[in-house]
Structure 1
Amino acid sequence: MSAPAHPDSTDLDRLHSAVKREKEDLAPESQPAPLWAMFLLMLVAILAGGQLGPILNGGGVSFESSNLFVGSNSGDPRPTKGGEDQGADPFAKAMKKGAAGYAVCGGCHQGNGGGLPGQYPPLDGSEFVLGGTERLVRIVQHGLTGPVTVKGQGYNFPGGMMPFGASMSSEDLANVLTFVRNSWSNKAGMITKEMVAKVRDEEKRTTQWTAPELEPFAKKDIPGEAPGAAAPAAAAPAPAAK
């Protein structure tokens, strides 16, 4: 005969089954967030995104452009395409936009256009800046390597100048070059996006230039009109003889 079952075995089985059915206690920090908190977080994210969009797209941070409670009759305070530049002089617009684009160049050539002695040549008073526009556009579009002499000083900067202009639109590149040609002590003609596009269409080079290769373009300007281009001030007329 088999041994009789322990009188408590049935109770123990029921107790174990009940324990298995119970949910495991979670630590306070691992408990799921309540639904109301998740809804509130989502609402905050939506409102923040609505305000961040105009700021990142150039609207800036201001009461007018960032106020949630501006009435519908007040209109959209954000500037339209072109914004305050609409109707401005083409040369003034190019200088303003070119100043922002010059940040790409300023790391080497410095904010004052003076460059770094022995490393990066100056742009202020440079014959490469004030000379033929054909040469200048090609340098920025394709880059420059090897030794170069600027204002009587020799430079052979490591790796040469990279083709920064290749990643810019024709308009952006024209604006930067116009800014460089008319900043500091420089005073020269404006370069337009049509001029840049003309060089790009004609020259499909994929390597950096050297100074000797650019010599044929040293005094050659890209044909085309430049509205609002700066020009050296005319000398004042001599007083009439008495």
Structure 2
Amino acid sequence: MSAPAHPDSTDLDRLHSAVKREKEDLAPENRPAPLWATFLLMLVAIVAGAQLGPMTGGWSFDISNPFSIASGGGDPRPNDGIVGDTLDPFALAMKKGGSSYAMCGGCHGPTGLGNAGVAPPLAGSEYVTGGTERMIRILQHGITGPLTIKGQNYNIPNGMQPFGATMSAQDLANVLTFVRNSFGNEGTMITKEMVQKVRDEEKRASQWTDADLKPFAEKNVPGDIPAGPGATAAAAPAPAK
């Protein structure tokens, strides 16, 4: 004979079902955060943002309108106050020549140490620190064949290509000045007028050889040197370009 059913069992089941319908049980980790905690976090974020903006210079809150973000303004990069139109001619040539050197760095390397089998070094090269006329002629018309630089023999396939047809006299002067005063080198600047003088006198249609350039090894193109090492004229601000 089975035990009699508990007189309240039916009512208890019905009561539990009603409670579950009204409010679902949540695990402790799934319970929503209290409203006061959410408000406190928002307040902390606003105060921290208002303090961080002025410190970093990136942005700050406008007190008159707490929902707007104002730009910090100005260029955050370091600036020594030197601009293009106040640089002396030598400094301006070095700045612009450094940018143009990108066309040379692929072969001669970013530090001017050269690239074995591709191009000889520019650092400490007697071709760089020697006569300015030889340097101008090489960059203007290119060079091919065997070379001896710093006691090392080079014979670069196809040689160095000419840049005279693709670069202005000023651009050539800038990069030549940069090379002559970088990588541990020091030499007088080469001016646009010097480059143009060689261009007007030499209408060569082929690359130079080392033997052809021997007469110009220590020859300097005449002209005033406005600034930098060996300056012969009082420096005057160069116009910005």
Tell me the TM-score range normalised by the shorter chain: 0.5 to 0.7
- Alpha-carbon distance between aligned partners in 1 of 2:84 and 2:137, rounded to the nearest angstrom: 29
- Alpha-carbon distance between aligned partners in 1 of 2:101 and 2:186, rounded to the nearest angstrom: 17
Matches within 5 A, 1:69-218: 84-218=83-217
- The alpha carbon displacement at 1:163 in A equals 0.1
| SS of equivalent to 2:148 | strand
- Alpha-carbon distance between aligned partners in 2 of 1:115 and 1:160, rounded to the nearest angstrom: 14
Moved more, 110-119 or 146-155: 110-119
| Structure 1 outlier segments of 4+, above 3 Å | none
1:21-75 CA deviation, whole Å, 9 max, x = no partner?
xxxxxxxxxxxxxxxxxxxxxxxxxxxxxxxxxxxxxxxxxxxxxxxxxxxxxxx
Contact 2:122 2:183 in 1 (8 A): no
Query: How does the TM-score come out when normalised to structure 1?
Result: 0.60
- Alpha-carbon distance between aligned partners in 1 of 2:155 and 2:164, rounded to the nearest angstrom: 20
Contact 1:187 1:231 in 2 (8 A): no
- The alpha carbon displacement at 1:229 in A equals 2.5
1:112-169 CA deviation, whole Å, 9 max, x = no partner?
0000134310001101111111111000000000011111111111110000233100
Contact 1:119 1:155 in 2 (8 A): no
RMSD: 1.5
- Alpha-carbon distance between aligned partners in 1 of 2:121 and 2:131, rounded to the nearest angstrom: 17
- Alpha-carbon distance between aligned partners in 2 of 1:180 and 1:121, rounded to the nearest angstrom: 13
In the comparison of the two structures, how many residue pairs are matched?
150
Gaps of 5+ in 2: 1-81, 232-241
- The alpha carbon displacement at 1:88 in A equals 1.3
Contact 2:145 2:159 in 1 (8 A): yes
By percentage of residues, which structure has more helix?
Answer: 1
Matches within 5 A, 1:15-94: 84-94=83-93
Query: How does the TM-score come out when normalised to structure 2?
Result: 0.60
- Alpha-carbon distance between aligned partners in 1 of 2:230 and 2:195, rounded to the nearest angstrom: 20
- Alpha-carbon distance between aligned partners in 2 of 1:131 and 1:145, rounded to the nearest angstrom: 19
- Alpha-carbon distance between aligned partners in 1 of 2:90 and 2:99, rounded to the nearest angstrom: 15
- Alpha-carbon distance between aligned partners in 2 of 1:184 and 1:224, rounded to the nearest angstrom: 25
| SS of equivalent to 2:83 | helix
Which amino acid is the alignment partner of residue 138 of structure 1? Answer: R
- Alpha-carbon distance between aligned partners in 2 of 1:92 and 1:127, rounded to the nearest angstrom: 23
Percentage of matched positions with identical amino acids: 62
Which amino acid is the alignment partner of residue 84 of structure 1? Answer: V
| SS of equivalent to 2:92 | helix
- Alpha-carbon distance between aligned partners in 2 of 1:222 and 1:128, rounded to the nearest angstrom: 15
Which amino acid is the alignment partner of residue 140 of structure 1? Answer: L
Contact 2:132 2:221 in 1 (8 A): yes
Which amino acid is the alignment partner of residue 163 of structure 1? Answer: P
- Alpha-carbon distance between aligned partners in 1 of 2:129 and 2:189, rounded to the nearest angstrom: 11
1:67-91 CA deviation, whole Å, 9 max, x = no partner?
xxxxxxxxxxxxxxxx931121110
| SS of equivalent to 2:211 | helix
Question: Which of these two proteins has the greater Rg computed from alpha carbons?
Answer: 2
